[in-house]
């Protein structure tokens, strides 16, 4: 606890001292820049010491943000050269897009070969997932348009001269044709995410329809590929502290500490949007199915805490299943709905995707029309179903989405700086949403009556 307190004090000190540096207009406040710099580096040294003792990747990512901001502020000429490190990290993440989407979608569709036996439960789950995640997307869209968190961000000098692919105005026929793959290898090469998704969905359905002797080997391959790509992502994430620190250093180096105000605004926008989503969606749904909310909160508090701390929905899965079983939901319902939800019902992540994608457009100075934003929402409705709840996997979808709309990638570097803090919140909402989904389907199927729970499990 003392270590955490020391680190918290150091972060507060860093924030205050960095803020004092920007208050030059106050005549009564005259502090030597050298003194301010010494205080900041003492604070940085403290959080580094905390990270060394903590030995946590999450902690190092957060600490790297502080180090990067300080380097960018004190040594901007050097810090702007760090961009190559953040680009290395970004390119490594990009390599995951096609194989990860293909493997997870195919396994998500063809892996549930018992869907005929649980037909009603299957379509009810998918309908519920689609309704809830679509609402999440529109709430995220509304939130970022209201807050305008990305507006006014200074564009890097290199981005001004960056050559973007020349595009001609597209008709609705062009948009529809672009959805369907002409050549899957070509789509993978160009990072065109929608054709990859369509190909994967059709492939998964086709695999589900063939005989078991043909389906088994291919499904096993896709499962193995999915697991390998998740591990690939985990390995790449060990480079995340360097990539994130370099991104923040470069950003502050050319834009100053004022850029952090936009990031804070984006972070607050996400947290407020998630809170609104819980209040206007989760709470009414719980009341409709007569779920004892107090008991529900107590039961899921442990898996949600695990998800928040680890930024991984999957790490909380066993505890979440146990919690819902204590809530009276039959194991057969939990075993089908919750794993399916981990591929198709990532409420927090889908809300974040809409919010972050529009933030990129705002930061790039490329405002999207209402029609373009609606097309983006429908794009995300498909792509958000393809990635399970692993740390920072939504970054993969953001890169694919902005590429589809010919937006530059540099604003993603800004999001990287606070992605860890945002991931904690959206992952927690993912777990809450999947726990609630099992309760909804259990009630819808008439498998559970929350008003008649066993005495030992009543609220």
**Domain ranges across the chain:** 2-89, 90-457
Mean pLDDT within 94-106: 77
363: tokens are 């930061």
CB atoms within 10 A of CB 115: 18
pLDDT > 70: percent of the chain: 73
Q: Average per-residue pLDDT in the chain?
A: 75
DSSP letter string over 343-401?
HH--HHHHHHHHHHHHHHHHHTT-PPPHHHHHHHHHHHHHHTTSS-S-TTTHHHHHHHH
25 vs 231: which has the higher pLDDT: 231
Contact 107, 223 (CB under 8 A): yes
**Assigned token pair, 24:** 């030059």
What crossing angle do the helices spanning 347-363 and 259-277 adopt, rounded to 10°? 150
Work out the burial of residue 48: count CB atoms within 10 Å of its CB; fewer than 13 is exposed, 13-18 middle, 19 or more buried.
middle
* pLDDT tens, residue by residue, 429-457: 999 999 999 999 988 888 777 877 665 44
- pLDDT value for 275: 94
Give whole-number Cα distances, 336 to 206, 341, 441, in Å: 21, 9, 10
Which CATH number does 90-457 carry? 1.10.3860.10
Say if residue 165's pLDDT is above 70.
no
pLDDT at residue number 163? 45
> Which one is predicted more confidently, 426 or 315?
426
CA–CA separation, 86 and 91 (whole Å):
9
Q: Which residue has the tokens 């903590």?
A: 54
**Contact, 81 vs 251, CB < 8 A?**
no
7 or 89, higher pLDDT: 89
Q: CA nearest 69: which of 14, 140, 28? A: 14
Q: What is the pTM of this model?
A: 0.61
Residue range 21-61, pLDDT digits in tens? 544 444 444 556 666 667 777 777 777 777 777 766 667 77
Per-residue confidence (pLDDT) for residue 158, from 0 to 100 = 52
């Amino acid at each position: 606890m003392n270590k955490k307190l020391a680190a918290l004090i150091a972060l507060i000190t860093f924030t205050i001292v960095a803020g004092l540096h920007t208050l030059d207009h106050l005549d009564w406040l005259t502090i030597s820049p050298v003194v301010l710099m010494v205080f900041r580096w003492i604070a940085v040294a403290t959080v580094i010491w905390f990270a060394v003792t903590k030995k946590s990747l999450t902690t190092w990512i957060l600490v790297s943000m502080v180090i990067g901001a300080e380097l960018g502020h004190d040594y901007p000429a050097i810090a702007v050269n760090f961009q190559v490190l953040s680009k290395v990290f970004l390119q490594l993440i990009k390599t995951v897009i096609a194989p990860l989407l293909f493997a997870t979608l195919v396994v998500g569709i063809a892996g549930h070969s018992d869907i005929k036996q649980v037909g009603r439960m299957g379509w009810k789950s998918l309908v519920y997932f689609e309704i809830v995640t679509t609402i999440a997307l529109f709430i995220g869209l509304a939130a970022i348009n209201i807050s305008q968190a990305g507006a006014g961000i200074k564009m890097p000098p290199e981005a001004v001269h960056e050559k973007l692919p020349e595009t001609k105005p597209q008709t609705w026929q062009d948009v529809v044709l672009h959805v369907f793959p002409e050549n899957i290898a070509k789509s993978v090469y160009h990072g065109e995410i929608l054709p990859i998704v369509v190909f994967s969905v059709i492939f998964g359905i086709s695999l589900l329809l063939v005989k078991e002797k043909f389906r088994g080997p291919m499904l096993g391959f896709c499962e193995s590929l999915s697991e390998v790509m998740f591990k690939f992502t985990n390995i790449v994430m060990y480079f995340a502290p360097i990539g994130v620190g370099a991104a923040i250093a470069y950003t502050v180096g050319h834009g100053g500490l004022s850029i952090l105000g936009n990031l804070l605004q984006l972070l607050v926008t996400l947290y407020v949007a998630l809170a609104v989503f819980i209040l206007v969606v989760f709470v009414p749904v719980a009341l409709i199915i007569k779920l004892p909310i107090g008991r529900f909160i107590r039961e899921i508090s442990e898996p949600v805490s695990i998800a928040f701390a680890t930024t991984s929905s999957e790490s909380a899965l066993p505890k979440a299943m146990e919690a819902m079983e204590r809530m009276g939901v039959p194991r057969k319902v939990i075993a089908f709905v919750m794993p399916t939800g981990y591929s198709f019902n990532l409420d927090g992540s889908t809300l974040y995707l809409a919010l972050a994608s529009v933030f990129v457009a705002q930061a790039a100075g490329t405002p999207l029309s209402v029609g373009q934003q609606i097309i983006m929402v429908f794009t995300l409705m498909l792509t958000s179903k393809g990635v399970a709840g692993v740390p920072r996997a939504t970054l993969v979808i953001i890169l694919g989405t902005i590429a589809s709309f010919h937006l530059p990638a540099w604003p993603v570097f800004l999001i990287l700086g606070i992605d860890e803090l945002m991931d904690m919140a959206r992952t927690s909402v993912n777990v809450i949403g999947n726990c609630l989904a099992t309760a909804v389907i259990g009630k819808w199927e008439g498998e559970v009556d929350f008003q008649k729970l066993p005495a030992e499990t009543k609220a």
